[in-house]
Amino acid sequence: MATSSDWSRGYQARAAYFDTAQPNAAPAMMDISLTVAGYRPPRDGDRFRYVEFGCGSAFNLILLAALHPGAKFLGVDFMPEHVATARALIEDAGLDNITIHEAAFGDLLCEKDPEPFDYAALHGVWTWVAPEVQNELVEVLGRWLKPGGIAYFGYAAAAGWAAPEPIRHLFRTVPKLAGAAGYDAARTAVTQWLEAVEPPGVTKMWDLLSSLPDLYLAHDLGAEYGRPVWLSDLQTALAPAKLTFAAPCDLAEQFDILRFRDKVLTFVTEAAKAGWGETARDLASKRSFRADLFARGAPQLSGAERNRRLKAMTVAFWPPLLDEEHDVAQSRDDFPLTADINREVSDVLSNGPMTLGEFVSKSGFDNRKALQAILLSVAREQVRIVAPEHNGDAQPVARLHQVLRARHRDGIRLPGIASPSLGCPVCLRPSDVRAFAEPDNAGTAHKAGLERLGL
């Protein structure tokens, strides 16, 4: 009889992955970051093709499929439990534009190539699998992603893991105690290490990780080949697929002034001029996770075309209403915008959404400063780019949300929902989930926040 190690090839296959909502993996978010960075997004409208490799139970992919009924989605995962869970939700929600395929990545190389995809997504997968599986992924991407296509990679970043890396080692090597469940022994070992040695730069990371369930840690820390990487090494590995780094997916990471100050900003600026800016940004921020976009020959935009595309986008003032939005706002408060930018943005947008071009024309700033001010505000999520009024089929999102509410009542965890207004999944705090699941009992702010999302 085959054991899990015969087919898992070192991947943590003993437990299903922990569902998450990933807004940055949405085409809407990718397109904004690509346009700001000066690259042409691969889609024009709602008819595009999107594949996620290692999709887990496909929660995020299903949210995207409901938001884009005119597009086609494919999720690939080799764990039968993931596939069964995803297919059950798809069936319950009545979605007909998404397929989940059970296969290892190497299996895909033996199958007939599908019609090429506009977008590909890999969240966490690259830093969890064996080197030979990474090579298979690169070959698949080279065959499946169309010229001009974009690949989203979410991965553990080496700079932020330099000090906490022993945590990963302990989770792999500490023997399980007799009768102990999950990673209790490893958690105890990490706590004892921190209390005894007090290693610098580790406590903050452990505060975050220790709050997460074993289902999450099994994949992020327990995978046999799991390891963080540098962007430069990932670029080298992806070169055979003709993929090159285009931009960070998080728009805030395109603006150093939002993340660094004083001598740190000077260090990053000088490194960027010398050609190693992304490495310097990792070292300066000590970030442990990156979400980056890689282009397979995406054409670059002229300055005029870039600005034309940006000015056609619709923006709306977005003060925090949901608890998740308050958390995001607090996380960005370390580097606030200047008072004149905050005042101008709030005053001009106080009458409601408008195109970015209209904002620039109505602002008291000159065109260059007005454009910079609104983009910085979008990067901080004080302002959001919203989808234009959509007369298409709203039923897929409504049906999916009805199913998610029912599942929440059955005790199934709900990490996020689909926002028609933003065109992407959104994360929710438990208090936000309760308001979504029981709208009659929601407070005024929660009701307004959910309505603003397009619910």
15 has pLDDT over 70: no
What is the pLDDT, as a whole number, of residue 177? 62
Q: From the DSSP assignment, how many helices (H) and strands (E) are in the chain?
A: 22, 12
Query: Locate tokens 């993931």: which residue?
Result: 82
- Of the candidates 164, 213, 161, the residue with the CA atom closest to the CA atom of residue 184: 213
Q: What distance in Å separates the CA atoms of residue 331 and residue 387, rounded to the nearest whole number?
A: 25
Query: Locate tokens 């199913």: which residue?
Result: 403
Could you give the strand order of the β-sheet that contains 244-248, starting from the edge strand earlier in sequence?
Answer: 98-102, 72-77, 49-53, 117-123, 145-156, 289-295, 244-248
2 has pLDDT over 50: no
- Look up residue 148 and give its DSSP letter: E
Domain annotation for the chain: domains and CATH numbers: 18-157+228-295 (3.40.50.150), 162-212 (no CATH), 313-455 (no CATH)
pTM above the 0.75 mark?
Answer: yes
pLDDT, one tens digit per residue, over 16-32 is 677 889 999 999 999 99
Contact 392, 423 (CB under 8 A): no
Determine the average pLDDT of the residues in 371-376. 96
Q: Which residues pair with 119 in a beta bridge?
A: 50, 150
pLDDT, one tens digit per residue, over 182-208 is 788 899 999 999 999 999 889 988 998
pLDDT, one tens digit per residue, over 318-349 is 999 999 999 999 888 878 899 999 999 999 99
CA dihedral in degrees (396, 397, 399, 401; nearest 10)?
160
pLDDT, one tens digit per residue, over 235-287 is 999 999 999 999 999 999 999 999 999 999 999 999 999 999 999 999 999 88
